[in-house]
Amino acid sequence: MLLHVHPQDPNPRHVKTIIECLQDGGVIIYPTDTIYGLGCDIFQHKAIERISRIKNIDAAKAQLSFVCYDLSDLSKYTKSISTPLYRILKSYLPGAYTFILPASKEVPKILQSKKSTIGLRIPDNNIARTIVNGLNHPILSASLPGDMVEEYTDPDLIYENFKNLVDIVVDGGIGGMIPSTIIDCTKDSYEVLRLGAGVWEED
């Protein structure tokens, strides 16, 4: 299904359809503040396995991240965050960043890598955050497979490419081509693993 959702004022009926799909173990493609991503409910194992198959990856080894509504999810899915780090997260989020943080035991086992880290995203995108807020916990997020970057900005083309692999393509308008900036915060000195759409100015 290709579902058109207003970027600034998502129709509650459409959001309900998406949330019910996720709760039933569905896989969606949805807009963020950077590129379109694959998403599913973090507690639906079969959906996580589906995303892993679409991307041809191992869920525990993959670079999958949690898309959260706000920083309140930090305390649940990550281990204790220092006050300075919390201030940094608060100043950069919502925004085009993925922060790698130590994972807590609340992270589903299928996603617990040997490194015990989790990528955390709070995109500056009303559709993504409205979905997560309605679901009441994060959604798992992964980039679309392959390198067809220009095709991945147009929801109609995304739908043509993936309609047999996912349940809903959420059309929130033309997407970006640059992914989020990834910052590893598990070490004493934070390391930029990928410089993307988010500007990083920390020392």
Torsion angle (degrees, nearest 10) of CA 41, 44, 49, 54: -30
Looking at residue 58, its pLDDT comes to 82
The pTM of this model reads 0.93
How far apart, in whole angstroms, are the C-alpha atoms of residue 54 and residue 172?
A: 22
Looking at residue 113, its pLDDT comes to 67
End-to-end Cα distance, the chain = 45
Looking at residue 115, its pLDDT comes to 66
- Tell me which CATH homologous superfamily contains domain 2-194: DHBP synthase (3.90.870.10)
Q: Are 169 and 196 in contact (CB under 8 A)?
A: no
Q: What is the mean pLDDT of each run of 10 residues along the chain (203 residues)?
A: 94 96 97 96 94 86 85 86 91 95 87 80 96 95 84 92 96 94 91 92 66
Task: Tell me the two tokens of residue 83.
Answer: 């006050």
Looking at residue 5, its pLDDT comes to 96
Looking at residue 79, its pLDDT comes to 86
What are the residue ranges spanned by the domains of the chain? 2-194
